[in-house]
């Protein structure tokens, strides 16, 4: 063991001062300047950080890392970076340093730092690093130490209280529980795009990945526990305290001024000044004037005691071990440490008969005490942890004295699962740390190197998953990018538009430009949508203008009609609305085109109107001819009346109701209607071309543009509809006849066949073959024959007979009202048209 009476041990230097004084940097320089050395740190994270730095200087083959859960000890190792608890004091090295030695005043771990301060010595040089408050303790316990005070490189000043939404970039927000850390990080995600998360319980791999995000500027905020106060180096400009109270393992208490200063001192780096503040302006979360003054001037009450526990306890028996660990210190400035977890576990196990039966030698006492040193990484409490330690010791004290690899492998396999949320993954990592600690005890496993590698691999996978989970939960990269880029000028966004219309800022998709309409990304938070819309609207003008020009120059086949919507490039750009005539609907551009200037809007509307007119002329020439006759002042009154009815009904109208006008048509008028494609049938007037799929679709669109519900059209190519489908034919060129609906051109064919087959007014038997071939049922045919003016007679030899009686035209039926644009469709309600 290293002792104070070793030759050369009087070269002890205490380097004291506030944060950002370069104390740790000085110790690393001195370490590398000696032939061998060791530094003890308060955190595994900090030990790992300095280990990586020394490896870059000395090479991996000569540098060791020793923590509870991780041991990298090359056979030629000469420089050791350790946690304070894991310092191998039996090694003879030229240089030894203890970082953050003022932690000797911590009730939980203080006895470890006090022991190292008293016993850890380098052969040539020893360095004690700590705050100025440690000075009286150094003078009392290491009387020959040279004390050097180092001033802070930069100024630390109070910046007042600020809400989270107003914190400056490069801020660290400090909280004192995982729940509070998560709550603050979630709020930052909503308000500012997110934050990195750093807690002492994180594995170095997760912590480094989170810090790397902050250092690289991927996020502008970092939320951490007070672990950042222990020398972790980050580019923080401002430290904000979410709270000034913490639970210290025994009670909820207010931070001491020294603790506040230790954390606040992370703001600023080297020569760059830093600021600190709180999130609350008043109440228990606010700084008092005296506290602010003390922190700014680095004046803290000196420590008047450190906690101590025998560092070399008596291992003769369990009772001697417990007695030596509960000894009172002799020095006036030392106080007996409160009962730590390891001692509490030892007492629990000492009460077990089976433990006492196995612990009958100093070697076995030492083995029991080593097992009790297994940290409670999972924070389960003394009793559950004592049971776990008891099981481990049970294996260490029987057989070959090793933990069974079957148990170890099964537990590691159970933990090797990267599914789950942040809390689940953090819990698995805590459990994995217990097994990593076991694997790094050289004599606890038959093949410790193998199992240490397995445990390390599992922790790495869980750490990567935890980093990904933390990032997914607490970082919205899109909002972060926008907040960084927008500033006060939303027009400064570097917007990029992809081939599929995706709109991105620094590779973060904020939405899509669908035609001329910007749609915010569906996963965007409600609070962000207004910002995203504003940002996009200011930057998409040139792209929209380019698209408008492309629309104006597009060929006709670039446009399609979907219902009443005009579609270009897969996106709706306008809709049809009622116009002065059925074939002259208005083109109403989509509201998204209002972002264009007036001249461009007019050009777009003109192009769409030209395309629409060309398509109507192509698919509905008959309707255009009908409407021309309706407007022709030189046409006869019956022709204009029939044309009006046809025009209003979209080229298919029942004859009933306009029969008087039809009868009044002269030969020239009838010829003109035939030239327009109109068939004057026995029951209907119609343009047969309108029954074809594409003209029928355009006819429906023009009728729908006038606000008429055209309902679902019949199936393409249908001629006769069954009862269940009959309603689909109403308004689409079908005539309802009982349980079937028959297309009007087929009705006319049957009517012609019936008249061709009759013999004047004498009874006759029609040939049913035509109707049967069309799928028309006998009942439907009977109804049709009656509508055509035939009366049924008793069948002859089982065959139906009919006699012509003539159509009883409703001569007195009033003509359609001219003030009703859809008067000609009156028959639709009774199943015609």
Please state the rounded mean pLDDT for residues 669-673: 94
pLDDT at 489 exceeding the cut of 60? no
For the segment 776-825, what is each residue's pLDDT rounded down to a tens digit?
888 888 888 888 888 888 887 778 888 888 765 533 334 444 444 333 33
Tokens at 12, concatenated: 């002890």
Taken in order 499, 504, 510, 515, the sign of the CA dihedral is negative
Confidence of residue 306 (pLDDT cuts 50, 70, 90): very high
**For residues 611 and 601, is the Cβ–Cβ distance under 8 A?**
no
Closest CA to 658 of 789, 824, 822, 831: 824
- The distance from CA 95 to its chain's CA centroid, rounded to whole angstroms, is 50
Q: How far apart are CA 239 and CA 229, in angstroms?
A: 10
Q: What is the pLDDT of residues 179-225, one digit of tens each?
A: 888 888 888 887 777 899 988 778 878 888 888 889 888 888 999 98
Per-residue pLDDT at 499 exceeds 80:
no
- CA distances to 162, 210, 256, 282, 496 from 225, in Å: 19, 14, 16, 22, 38
Element (H, E) at 107: none
- Cβ(134)–Cβ(98) under 8 Å? no
Output DSSP code: residue 829.
Answer: G
pLDDT band at 404 (very low <50, low <70, confident <90, very high): very high
Mean pLDDT of all residues belonging to the chain: 86
Are 206 and 44 in contact by the 8 Å Cβ rule? The answer is no
Distance CA 312, CA 286 (A): 44
Cα–Cα distance measured from residue 740 to residue 304, given in angstroms and rounded to the nearest whole number: 104
Helix (H) or strand (E) holding 280: none
Looking at residue 8, what is its pLDDT? 43
Q: What percent of the chain has pLDDT over 70?
A: 89
Q: Given this model, what pLDDT does residue 782 score?
A: 87
Cβ contacts of 603 within 8 Å, gap of 6 or more: 548, 552
pLDDT in tens, 60-113: 999 999 998 889 999 999 999 999 999 999 999 999 999 999 999 999 899 999
Number of other residues whose CB lies within 10 A of the CB of residue 735: 24
Gap between the terminal Cα atoms of the chain: 109
Are the C-beta atoms of 267 and 156 separated by less than 8 Å? Answer: yes
Would you place residue 481 in the very low, low, confident or very high pLDDT band (cuts 50, 70, 90)?
low
Q: What is the pLDDT of residue 779?
A: 86
Rounded distance between C-alpha atoms, residue 194 and residue 188, angstroms: 5
pLDDT of 505: 63
Cα 7 to Cα 12, 199, 385, distances in angstroms? 12, 41, 42
Residue 774 or 461, more confident: 461
pLDDT of residue 439: 93
Q: What is the pLDDT of residue 463?
A: 92
Q: Is residue 20 within 8 Å of residue 153, measured between CB atoms?
A: yes
The region of weakest confidence among 13-22, 74-83, 727-736 is: 727-736
What is the reported pLDDT for 701?
93
Q: Which two tokens stand for residue 477?
A: 């990269």
If you ran DSSP here, which 8-state letter would residue 121 be given? -
Rounded Cα distance, 461 and 703, in Å: 64
Picking from 722, 776, 725, 709, the residue whose alpha carbon sits closest to that of residue 747 is 776
Out of 151-165, 237-251, 491-505, 598-612, least confident range? 491-505
CB 352 within 8 A of CB 390: yes
Confidence class of residue 759 from pLDDT cuts 50, 70 and 90?
A: confident
User: What was the pLDDT predicted at 495?
Assistant: 67
| Residue 299 DSSP one-character state | -
Instruction: Give the model confidence (pLDDT) of 533-549 as tens digits.
Output: 666 666 788 888 989 99
pLDDT band per the 50, 70, 90 thresholds, residue 267: confident
> Hey, what domains does the chain have and what are their CATH numbers?
12-149 (3.40.50.300), 156-297 (3.40.50.300), 338-474 (no CATH), 477-537 (no CATH), 552-619 (no CATH), 621-830 (no CATH)
pLDDT for 594 beyond 60: yes
> Residue 736: its pLDDT value, please?
87
Question: Is the confidence at residue 10, as pLDDT, over 60?
Answer: no
Task: Locate 743 and state its tokens.
Answer: 């297309």
What span, in angstroms and rounded, lies between the C-alpha atoms of 401 and 443? 8
Is 454 or 227 the better-scoring residue by pLDDT? 454
Element of type H or E holding 750: helix 744-757
Share of the chain above pLDDT 90, in %: 56
Alpha-carbon distances, residue 495 vs 184, 478, 507 (angstroms)? 30, 12, 9
pLDDT for 480 = 61
| pLDDT band, residue 615 (cuts 50/70/90) | very high
Residue 572, φ and ψ in degrees, nearest 5:
-70, 130
DSSP bridge pairs for 559: 568
> Do residues 639 and 676 make contact, with C-beta atoms less than 8 angstroms apart?
no
């Amino acid at each position: 063991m290293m002792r104070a009476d070793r030759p050369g041990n009087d070269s002890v230097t205490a380097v004291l001062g506030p944060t950002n004084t370069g104390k740790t940097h000085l110790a690393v320089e001195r370490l590398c300047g000696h032939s061998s050395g060791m530094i003890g740190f308060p955190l595994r994270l900090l030990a790992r950080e300095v280990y990586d730095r020394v490896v870059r200087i000395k090479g991996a083959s000569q540098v060791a890392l020793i923590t509870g859960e991780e041991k990298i000890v090359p056979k030629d190792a000469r420089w050791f970076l350790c946690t304070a608890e894991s310092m191998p004091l039996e090694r003879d090295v030229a240089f030894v340093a203890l970082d953050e030695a003022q932690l000797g005043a911590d009730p939980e771990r203080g006895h470890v730092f006090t022991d190292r301060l008293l016993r850890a010595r380098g052969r040539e040089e020893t360095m004690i690093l700590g705050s100025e408050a440690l000075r009286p303790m150094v003078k009392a316990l290491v009387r020959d130490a040279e004390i050097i005070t180092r001033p802070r490189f930069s100024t630390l000043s109070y910046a007042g209280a600020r809400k989270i939404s107003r914190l400056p970039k490069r801020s660290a927000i400090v909280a004192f529980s995982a729940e509070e850390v998560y709550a603050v990080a979630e709020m930052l995600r909503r308000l500012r795009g997110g934050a990195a998360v750093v807690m002492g319980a994180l594995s170095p791999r997760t912590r480094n990945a989170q810090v790397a995000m902050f250092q690289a500027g991927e996020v502008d905020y970092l939320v951490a526990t007070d672990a950042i106060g222990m020398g972790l180096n980050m580019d923080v400009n401002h430290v904000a305290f979410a709270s000034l109270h913490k639970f210290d393992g025994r009670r909820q208490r207010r931070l001491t001024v020294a603790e506040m200063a230790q954390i606040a001192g992370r703001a600023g780096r080297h020569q760059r000044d830093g600021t600190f503040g709180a999130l609350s302006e008043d109440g228990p979360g606010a700084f008092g004037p005296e506290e602010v003054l003390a922190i700014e001037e680095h004046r803290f009450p000196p420590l008047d005691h450190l906690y101590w526990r025998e560092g070399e306890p008596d291992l003769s028996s369990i009772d001697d071990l417990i007695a030596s660990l509960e000894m009172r210190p002799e020095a006036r400035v030392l106080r007996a440490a409160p009962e730590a977890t390891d001692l509490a576990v030892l007492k629990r196990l000492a009460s077990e008969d089976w433990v006492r039966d196995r612990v009958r030698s100093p070697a076995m006492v030492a083995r029991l005490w080593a097992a009790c040193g297994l940290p409670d990484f999972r924070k389960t409490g003394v009793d559950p942890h004592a049971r776990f330690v008891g099981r481990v010791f049970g294996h260490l004290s029987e057989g070959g004295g090793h933990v069974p690899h079957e148990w170890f492998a099964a537990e590691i396999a159970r933990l090797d699962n990267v599914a789950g949320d942040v809390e689940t993954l953090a819990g698995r990592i805590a459990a994995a740390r217990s097994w990593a600690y076991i694997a790094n005890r050289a004599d606890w496993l038959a093949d410790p190197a193998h199992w240490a590698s397995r445990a390390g691999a599992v922790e790495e996978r869980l750490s990567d998953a935890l980093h990904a989970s933390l990032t997914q939960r607490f970082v919205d990269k899109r909002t972060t990018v926008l907040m960084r880029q927008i500033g006060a000028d939303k027009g400064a966004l570097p917007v990029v538009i992809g081939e599929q219309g995706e709109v991105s800022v620094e590779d973060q998709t904020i939405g899509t430009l669908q035609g001329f309409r910007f749609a915010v990304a569906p996963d965007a938070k409600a609070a962000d949508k207004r910002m995203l819309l504003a940002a996009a609207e200011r930057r998409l003008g040139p792209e929209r203008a380019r698209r408008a020009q492309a629309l104006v120059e597009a060929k006709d086949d670039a446009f399609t009609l979907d219902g009443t919507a005009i579609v270009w490039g897969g996106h709706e750009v306008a809709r049809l609305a009622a116009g002065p005539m059925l074939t002259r609907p208005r083109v109403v551009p989509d509201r998204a085109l209002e972002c264009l200037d007036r001249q461009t809007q007019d050009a777009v509307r003109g192009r769409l109107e030209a395309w629409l007119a060309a398509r109507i002329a192509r698919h509905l020439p008959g309707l255009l001819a009908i409407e021309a006759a309706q407007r022709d002042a030189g046409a006869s009154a019956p022709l204009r009346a029939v044309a009006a009815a046809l025009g209003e009904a979209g080229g298919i109208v029942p004859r009933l109701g306009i029969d008087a006008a039809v009868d009044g048509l002269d030969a020239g008028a009838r010829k003109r209607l035939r030239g327009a494609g109109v068939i004057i049938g026995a029951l209907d007037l119609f343009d047969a071309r309108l029954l074809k799929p594409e003209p029928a679709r355009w006819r429906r669109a023009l009728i729908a543009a006038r606000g008429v519900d055209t309902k679902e059209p019949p199936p393409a190519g249908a001629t006769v509809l069954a009862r269940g489908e009959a309603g689909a034919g109403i308004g689409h060129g079908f005539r309802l006849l009982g349980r079937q609906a028959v297309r009007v051109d087929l009705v006319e064919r049957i009517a012609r066949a019936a008249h061709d087959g009759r013999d004047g007014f004498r009874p006759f038997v029609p040939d049913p073959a035509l109707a049967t071939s069309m799928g028309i049922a006998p009942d439907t045919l009977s109804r049709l024959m009656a509508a055509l003016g035939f009366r049924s007679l008793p069948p002859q030899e089982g065959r139906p007979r009919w006699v012509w009686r003539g159509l009883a035209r409703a001569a007195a039926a009033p003509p359609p009202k001219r003030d009703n644009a859809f008067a000609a469709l009156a028959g639709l309600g009774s199943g015609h048209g």
